[in-house]
Amino acid sequence: MKHIGITGRMGSGKSFISRIFQETFGIPVFDSDKEAKACYREAHIRDEVCRVFGNFLLLPDKQLDLKALGKLVFAQPEKTEALNRIVHPEVMRRYRRWNENKRQDCPYTLFESAILFESHLDTQFDAIIYVHCPEHISVERVRQRNGWSEEDIRLRLQLQQSQATDCDKADFRIEHDSTASLESGRERLLPQIREIHRRIISMP
């Protein structure tokens, strides 16, 4: 069974594309961003975050104040790196356990992450799919989904690696520039997804 990473900037539509892989070909998808949030509920992760960043992040119910943590590390690469060193090993342990429970006749699994290259996790996979999207479309998708201001979205996008850099590192690229409805967008994406699926299962 092969291990494939799928990544893209915020608002690129990688979760939608991962769902198409799952629904069309039965490919299991591991949502690393969701799992990372779940890791913060683990006592050893919570304790280490407080040790590194301070006990002021602890709420009365002994859970981490993730909103405050996000503000603390936002736009500060050294703090982001420190947080990633705490959380990402646990995410990868969860991923390995998750993979062990998958059918061995499954040709591959997908590991979905917005920061696959930034986290230096790309070497853990047999191939990487990059979802490319024009910035103005990403901005509009995030604005509709999260209700954030355009200025805030563009600032967050500027903090992520450039699409050109990540595209060059990836093995496969999906162009997701549709502003159509989800169902119409699915039909436009399917030829690209089918071709990548074919190429992955033919990999040695």
Q: What is the pLDDT of residue 48?
A: 97
**Polymer length of the chain:** 204
Domain assignments of the chain as residue spans, ordered by start: 1-28+108-204, 33-101
Q: What is the pLDDT of residue 180?
A: 64
Superfamily of domain 1-28+108-204: P-loop containing nucleotide triphosphate hydrolases (3.40.50.300)
Burial of 116 (0-12, 13-18, 19+ CB in 10 A): buried
Q: What is the pLDDT of residue 2?
A: 94
pTM summary value? 0.90
d(CA 162, CA 166): 7
Q: Which residues, other chains included, contact 42 with Cβ-Cβ below 8 Å and sequence gap of 6+? A: 90
Q: What tokens appear for 26 in the block?
A: 């039965």
Q: What is the pLDDT of residue 101?
A: 83
Measured on CA atoms in the order 60, 61, 67, 70, is the torsion positive or negative?
Answer: positive
Averages of pLDDT over each 10 residues, the chain, 204 residues: 94 94 96 94 96 95 93 87 94 93 86 91 95 91 89 82 80 87 77 97 94
